[in-house]
Each structure stands twice: as structure tokens, then as C-alpha cells.
């Protein structure tokens, strides 16, 4: 093909012209790229740098060790035990199934645990350790370590978990911890980042729950660099946090153990042992009990249903949550109210013919034949009901209620335990608000013998007894020391009742267990300087009195006893309630006596502190108790 030079020239110029245009466009394009670089790398560099840092730096929380709980002698009640786990890392194991098969030949593994581990292995990144089984023994760990070469990717690992060495004894006082739940989070109003850790253990009941904030400590943090897959590359910084505060309780573990064991001889019972001089709760017993460690490790559904379905309510802290009609143990309140109001002299007498007639209703004394002429001391000694029917009409419910409240009945006690009940101390205002009714004289008669609307917890009864014994406003104290700071006793000042009136009441209580006609004479203490004073109570569950042996357990009377010892220098006060136990004198009084004696001696009492004719039976009883022997020595905390 021929082309003229002119054509070629035209073509060349056209190409050159368009090449310049193209070059210009390309330069423009490059300019946009350069401008974009400047915009991102110079103007917005700081923002992007921050995003890059956020990408790479993760904060991992470090859970601080939870504060420990000790008894008054420094014996550990709640501690952080080493929890030996066996973990597997997928990428190190190679064939996971083969490694697990080999492991199963060495140690036994719960199939449920394995199933869960398999699910987790499938979900997690290959470098994340997955727990195969936990709560293993040290022997298992050693076995794994020795066989490590044959078990690729499987390693023993140790973490901390809560352990309650005295198990059942402190289930209701110390409570237990468990993994934090959504419900806990919604309820607690607590923005502690520790709570966001999956399965983080928080106190669920008892002291563990009430002192949660102090026991938990402050979260530490680890700054780590992670890659895009979340693998930890290195640690950039670390703050270990602050361990939780330790707590020392006022409870004495040997006594607590004895109380639990002694109460355990009945179906369902509770007791509170208190030092009336400073309010220290020496024991808070509930029977039956349960092992709180089961909750920490994760209780099975069956196990839980067995506990909740038990008619003796092992989960309940009946000593502080249970509200019972106090029965005759309430009679001290009525007589004190009368004495204080000046409406009664100790020597005033009423005639008990077996019942009091009020309109067309008859109010019976427990003794159908009547007590004859009864003065104040005799009314307590023999627990005459008619005497108090008369007093109630003379004094009126409002005075009785005011007095009882000063002794703690119907009062909310400030104690770090779950669901502490205030009980009920009714009066005219109360019945108007509660039932929109007016108070009737009959109600006063029922209240005067601790029946009807009156409800009190064993704790309140113990406080009442302590206040009678000392004449002070003493308040119960469960926690002796928090984080090394002593918690001062409260209520050491006088209650404000005439000491002469109180002495009359104490004399009556002395007669109950020391005079041959006293209702608790059989349960007297026969040791010099350890004489017991007390009061029995039998509170009806049903209105018709029948023989307790003939009705089902749920319909039998509650047996109560309150008392203190030594009579002349009270150092221990006790209240015992045996649910549906029958009579206070036959069932509750012996329990209270055994507890008082144990508290006074600090160990199983010698047989000669019991009346001679009972020593044989007592010996049998003592040997039938299984008492804990494995108390670990108390640690460096102050000893009481």
C-alpha cells in the first residue's frame, strides 16, 4: 500500500496530538491518586492510626483472686482452690479424636464434658485451648504430664475455683458462688468489667453475695497485641489488679459443726447461738443442709430438683428466714410489758382454772386441769397460759408490741445473710393496714401466748434472749473483720428496762430449767457455774389440739426453746426451733442444752454436766454424732 508523505505527516501529527491529550489525562489520573494519598496519609493519618491501634491491641481482663472467708479462729471457710483442668489445643493435637481416645485410656472423662468440648473445638480457632475436663486430681495431672509425648496438644492447666472446705456446715452462712447470669447482670446495677467475663463467679447467696463487692477485688488488665485471627502475639503491658478483701466471721467452726450435727438428729431444725456480751453469732445452724461445692462445680438438674423438692427445705436458711409463732417463748415479752407499764407486780396472782372465758369463746390453758393460783415466776416456770390471757387483757396489744419490738421481735436485723426475715409483731395499726380489720381482744389473747399473728425467727429469739440476759440493746454480728478492719460490736448500751423487772423474768427462766416443776427441768445443766435459764415454747400449727403422734408431720406442733448460760454471768444465748418437733420441753430444750454446753466447754461436754439419770442416754447420743475432725489450723488472722 502506498502512502503519501503528506498522509504520513498528518497521521504522525494526529498521533502526537492525541498522545499529548492522553498523557495529560494520565497525569490528571495520577494527580487524583496523589491527592488521595495525601488526603488519607497526611490529613486523616491520625484517625487511621487510631483504627490500626484498635485493631491490634486488645485488653484482656485479669480476674483478681477472690477474698477468702475465715471463721473467728482463722479456719478457712471459703478459699480459692487450684482447679486442675485438662485442655486441648486443636492445632497442636493433629488428630483430635485420636488424642482424646488415648487420653481416655489414661483417665476417665465424663461423656457430657467430651460432647461439650467437641462442640467448642468445632467453634473456636485452632489455637484456642479448650477444656476437656476440669476439677481433676493432682494424680490425673501427673499422669498426663508423664505421658505428655504420647498426647500431642493435651496439657494440664491450673485455674482457681471456689472451694468450701467445711461444706455443709457453712452452706447457709457463707453461701456459694456461681457463674454470673444475665439475670444477675440485670439486677445488680454493677458496671464492673469483670462481670463480662464468661462464667465469672460471683456470690449467689449468703456472705458471698452480701460482700460481693469487697470479696471480688479490682480487675487487672493485660494489653496484648493480636493478629487478625485473634491469636495473641505478645503482651504489651500488664496490671494485676487488686485481690478481694478477706472476711473473718464471728462463727466458731467446731461449735457450728456440732450444732449442725445435733440439729441433724431431727428432721428439720434450726438454731442460733449468740454471745450476748458482744452480739457475736457463734453458730447459725440449719438442718438438713447441703454441700455448696456442688453449686460451684455446676449442680445437675436432678440434684437441684432433689434439693428444692425436699420437704425439709435444705436450701432454706431457716434460722434467719424462717418465721414461726414463738409460742410460750413470747411470754417474757408480755410480762415485761406489764411490769414496765406498772400494771403488774411480780407477786400479783391470777387463778388458772384451765381456761379463760371471753364472751362465748373459751381460751384453754395447755394444762386442762389448770394451775391454780399463779404468780409471775410460776407463770414462766410452768408456762401457764391463763395468766397471760389475763395479762393481755390488762396490758393491751400495743404495749406488748412496743416492748417486743425493743427486744427485736418484728425487727429487721442487719445481717449479711440472704432473705433475713423481719417476722411479724402485730398491733392495732398493723391489722388495720394488713387486713383492714380492727383488733379484737381475742387476738391479744392469742398473741400473749405467741400464737396468732405473731411470727419470729430463731435469730430474733436469740437476740431477744440475749437482751433479756444482759439488759443491753445488743445487735447480732456475723462479720468480725473485713479487709483487716475490725467491725465494732453494736448495741452495748442498756436497753432501758428496769433491772429489777428483768431480774424477775430471769428468775422465772431459771425456774423453767432448774425447779422440779419447770417445763424444762429434765433438760437442766448439772454443772456448777454453768446453770442454764430458758423458756420452752410449743406453737400450734393447727388450731385444734390433738395428740402429736396421731397427725402427719406437717401438722405437728413446732418445738421451741430459748435460753442462756451461765445463769449468773451469761456468755452464750441460744434459740432452737425444731419444725413440727412436738413439744418444746421434750424436743427443743435438750437440743438447746447440748448446744449451750458445747459452747461453754468448747468441746463435747463431760457427762457429769448432765443430771445423773440421763448420762447413759447422753453418752449414746454423743457417740452417735459424726463430728468433723479435719479442721485445718487457723491462719495468721487475729484469733478471738
Partner 1 sequence: MSYLENNLRTVPTGPTKLLYLNWPIVLLLATVASVGFLMLYSVAGGSLEPWAEPQMKRFALGLTVMIAAAMVPVWFWRNVSGLAYGVSLLLLLLVEFHGTTGMGAQRWIDLGIIRLQPSELMKITLVMMLAAYYDWLDIGKTSRPLWVIIPLFLIALPTYLVLRQPDLGTSILLVTGGGIIMFLAGVSWWYFVGVVGAGVGAVTAVFSSRGTDWQLIKDYQFRRIDTFLDPASDPLGAGYHITQSKIALGSGGWTGRGFMQGTQSRLNFLPEKHTDFIFTTLAEEFGFVGAFSLLSLYVAVVFFCVVSAIANRDRFGSLVTLGIGATFFLFFAVNMAMVMGLAPVVGVPLPLVSYGGSAMLVLLLGFGIAQSAHVHRPRTR
Shortest reach from residue 197's CB to partner 1, in Å = 23
Pairing relation of β-strands 220-226 and 201-203? unpaired
Stretch that binds partner 1, among 1-9, 299-307, 310-318, 513-521 (CB under 8 A): 1-9
Whether residue 274 contacts residue 573, with contact meaning beta carbons closer than 8 Å, is answered with yes
d(CA 272, CA 276): 12
Q: Find where cell 401438722 sits.
A: 555
Between 53 and 110, name the residue whose CB sits nearer to partner 1. 53
DSSP string across 222-239: EEEEE-TT--EEEEEEEE
Q: Can you give 601-635 as a three-state secondary structure string?
A: HCCCCCHHHCCHHHHHHHHHHHHHCCCCCCCCCCC
Q: Does 36 bind partner 1 (CB under 8 A)?
A: yes
Distance separating alpha carbons of residues 21 and 624, to the nearest angstrom: 110
Site for partner 1 in 302-361 (CB under 8 A): none
**DSSP for residue 43:** I
Q: How many residues bind partner 1 (CB under 8 A)?
A: 45
**Minimum distance, C-beta of residue 196 to partner 1, in the bound complex (Å):** 21
Residue 145 vs 233, nearer CB to partner 1: 233
Applying CB under 8 A, does 419 fall inside the site for partner 1? no
Beta bridge partners of 247: 69, 482
15 binds partner 1 (CB under 8 A): yes
Task: Determine if 91 is a binding residue for partner 1 (CB under 8 A).
Answer: no
Beta-carbon count within 10 A of 157 CB: 15
Long-range contacts of 485-489, Cβ-Cβ distance < 8 Å, separation of 24 or more: 489/278, 489/279, 489/280
Catalytic residue, candidates 328, 383, 457, 585: 328
Among the listed ranges 4-12, 174-182, 260-268, 298-306, the one in contact with partner 1 (CB under 8 A) is 4-12
Question: Residues 188-227: x/- map of binding to partner 1 (CB under 8 A)?
Answer: -------------------------------------xxx
- Smallest gap from Cβ 34 to partner 1, in A, equals 6
By CB under 8 A, residue 234 contacts partner 1: no
Residue 250 CB, shortest distance to partner 1, in Å, is 55
Report the candidate in 225, 243, 268, 277 with the shortest Cα–Cα distance to residue 68.
243
Q: Is 158 in the site for partner 1 (CB under 8 A)?
A: no
C-alpha cell at 509: 427462766
Residue 517 touches partner 1, criterion: CB under 8 A: no
Is 490 a binder of partner 1 (CB under 8 A)?
no
Site string for partner 1, 38-67 (x = CB under 8 A): x-xxx-xx-xxx-xxx-xx-----------
CB crowding 233-249: b at 16 or more within 10 Å, else e: eeeeeeeebebbbbbbb
Q: Is the dihedral of CA 134, 136, 141, 147 positive or negative?
A: negative
Active site residue 328: yes
**Per rule CB under 8 A, is residue 123 in the interface with partner 1?**
no
Q: Is the CB of 1 or the CB of 419 nearer to partner 1?
A: 1
Catalytic positions: 328
Task: Catalog residues that contact partner 1 under the rule CB under 8 A.
Answer: 1, 3, 5, 7-8, 10-12, 14-16, 18-20, 22-23, 26-27, 29-30, 32-34, 36-38, 40-42, 44-45, 47-49, 51-53, 55-56, 225-229, 233
Amino acid at each position: 500500500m502506498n502512502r503519501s508523505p503528506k498522509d504520513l505527516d498528518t497521521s504522525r501529527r494526529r498521533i502526537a496530538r492525541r498522545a499529548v491529550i492522553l498523557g495529560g489525562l494520565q497525569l490528571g489520573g495520577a494527580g487524583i491518586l496523589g491527592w488521595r494519598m495525601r488526603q488519607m496519609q497526611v490529613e486523616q493519618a491520625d484517625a487511621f492510626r487510631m483504627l490500626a491501634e484498635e485493631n491490634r491491641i486488645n485488653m484482656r481482663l485479669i480476674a483478681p483472686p477472690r477474698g477468702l472467708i475465715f471463721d473467728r479462729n482463722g479456719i478457712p471457710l471459703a478459699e480459692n482452690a487450684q482447679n486442675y483442668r485438662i485442655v486441648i489445643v486443636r492445632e497442636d493435637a493433629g488428630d483430635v479424636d485420636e488424642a482424646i481416645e488415648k487420653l481416655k485410656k489414661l483417665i476417665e472423662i465424663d461423656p457430657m464434658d467430651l460432647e461439650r468440648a467437641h462442640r467448642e473445638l468445632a467453634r473456636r480457632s485452632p489455637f484456642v485451648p479448650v477444656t476437656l475436663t476440669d476439677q481433676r486430681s493432682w494424680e490425673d495431672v501427673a499422669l498426663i504430664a508423664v505421658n505428655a509425648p504420647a498426647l500431642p496438644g493435651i496439657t494440664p492447666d491450673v485455674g482457681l475455683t471456689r472451694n468450701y472446705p467445711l461444706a455443709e456446715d457453712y452452706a447457709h452462712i457463707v453461701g456459694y458462688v456461681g457463674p454470673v447470669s444475665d439475670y444477675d447482670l440485670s439486677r445488680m446495677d454493677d458496671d464492673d468489667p469483670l462481670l463480662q467475663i464468661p462464667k465469672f463467679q460471683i456470690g449467689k447467696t449468703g456472705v458471698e453475695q452480701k460482700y460481693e463487692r469487697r470479696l471480688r477485688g479490682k480487675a487487672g488488665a493485660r494489653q496484648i497485641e493480636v493478629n487478625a485471627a485473634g491469636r495473641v502475639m505478645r503482651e504489651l503491658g500488664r496490671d494485676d489488679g487488686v485481690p478481694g478483701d478477706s472476711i473473718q466471721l464471728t462463727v466458731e467452726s467446731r461449735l457450728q459443726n456440732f450444732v449442725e450435727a445435733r440439729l441433724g438428729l431431727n428432721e428439720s431444725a434450726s438454731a442460733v447461738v449468740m454471745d450476748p456480751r458482744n452480739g457475736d453469732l457463734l453458730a447459725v445452724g440449719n438442718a438438713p443442709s447441703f454441700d455448696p461445692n456442688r453449686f460451684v462445680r455446676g449442680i445437675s438438674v436432678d440434684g437441684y430438683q432433689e434439693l428444692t423438692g425436699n420437704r425439709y427445705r435444705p436450701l432454706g436458711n431457716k434460722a434467719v428466714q424462717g418465721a414461726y409463732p414463738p409460742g410460750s417463748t413470747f411470754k417474757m415479752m408480755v410480762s415485761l410489758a406489764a411490769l414496765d407499764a406498772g400494771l403488774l407486780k411480780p407477786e400479783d396472782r391470777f387463778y388458772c382454772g384451765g381456761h379463760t372465758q371471753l364472751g362465748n369463746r373459751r381460751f384453754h390453758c395447755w394444762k386442762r386441769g389448770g394451775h391454780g393460783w399463779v404468780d409471775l415466776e410460776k407463770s414462766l416456770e410452768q408456762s401457764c397460759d391463763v395468766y397471760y390471757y389475763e395479762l393481755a387483757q390488762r396490758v393491751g396489744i400495743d404495749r406488748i408490741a412496743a416492748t417486743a419490738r425493743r427486744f427485736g421481735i418484728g425487727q429487721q436485723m442487719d445481717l449479711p445473710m440472704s432473705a433475713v426475715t423481719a417476722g411479724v409483731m402485730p398491733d392495732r395499726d398493723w391489722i388495720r393496714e394488713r387486713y383492714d380489720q380492727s383488733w379484737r381482744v381475742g387476738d391479744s389473747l392469742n398473741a400473749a401466748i405467741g400464737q396468732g399473728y405473731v411470727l419470729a425467727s430463731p435469730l430474733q429469739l436469740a437476740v431477744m434472749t440475749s437482751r433479756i440476759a444482759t439488759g443491753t440493746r445488743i445487735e447480732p454480728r456475723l462479720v468480725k473483720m473485713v479487709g483487716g478492719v475490725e467491725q465494732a460490736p453494736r448495741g452495748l448500751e442498756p436497753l432501758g428496762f428496769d433491772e429489777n423487772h428483768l431480774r424477775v423474768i430471769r428468775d422465772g427462766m431459771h425456774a423453767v430449767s432448774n425447779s422440779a416443776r419447770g417445763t424444762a427441768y429434765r433438760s437442766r445443766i448439772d454443772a456448777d457455774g454453768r446453770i442454764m435459764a430458758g423458756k420452752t415454747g410449743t406453737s400450734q400449727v393447727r388450731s385444734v389440739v390433738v395428740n402429736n403422734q396421731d397427725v402427719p408431720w406437717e401438722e405437728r406442733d413446732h418445738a421451741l426453746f430459748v435460753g442462756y448460760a451461765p445463769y449468773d454471768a451469761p456468755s452464750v444465748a441460744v434459740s432452737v426451733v425444731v419444725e413440727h418437733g412436738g413439744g418444746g420441753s421434750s424436743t427443743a430444750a435438750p437440743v438447746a442444752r447440748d448446744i449451750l454446753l458445747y459452747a461453754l466447754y468448747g468441746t463435747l461436754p463431760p457427762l457429769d454436766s448432765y443430771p445423773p439419770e440421763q448420762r447413759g442416754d447422753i453418752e449414746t447420743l454423743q457417740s452417735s454424732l459424726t463430728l468433723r475432725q479435719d479442721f485445718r489450723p487457723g491462719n495468721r488472722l487475729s484469733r478471738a
